[in-house]
Chains A and B, each alone.
Chain A
Amino acid sequence: MDQIFVYIKKAIVDLVGTFLPESVEIMTSILISITVFCLLGPLLMMYMTWLERKVVGRIQNRLGPNRVGKFGLLQPIADGIKMLTKEDIVPKNADKIVHLLAPILIIAPALLLFAVIPFGKNMTAIDLNIGLIFFLAVSSITTIPIFMASWGSRNKYSLLGGMRSVAQMISYEIPMVLSVVPVILTVGSLSTVAIVDAQSAWGGFKWFLFTPWGLVSFVVFFLCSVAECNRSPFDLPEAESEIIAGFHTEYSGMKFALFYMAEFMNTFTLSALTVTLFLGGWQGPFLPSWIWFFLKTFVIIFIMVWFRGTLPRVRVDQLMGLAWKVLLPVTLVNVIISGFWYYYHNFWALGLGTILLFLTLIGFMKLNRNYMPEKRVYTYGN
Chain B
Amino acid sequence: MLIPLNHLLVFTTLLFCIGLYGALSRRNVIGILLSIELILNAVNINFVAFSKTTALAPEAGQVFALFVMAIAACEACVGLAIVLALYRNRKTVFTDQINLLKW
Verify whether A and B have any Cβ pair under 8 Å: no
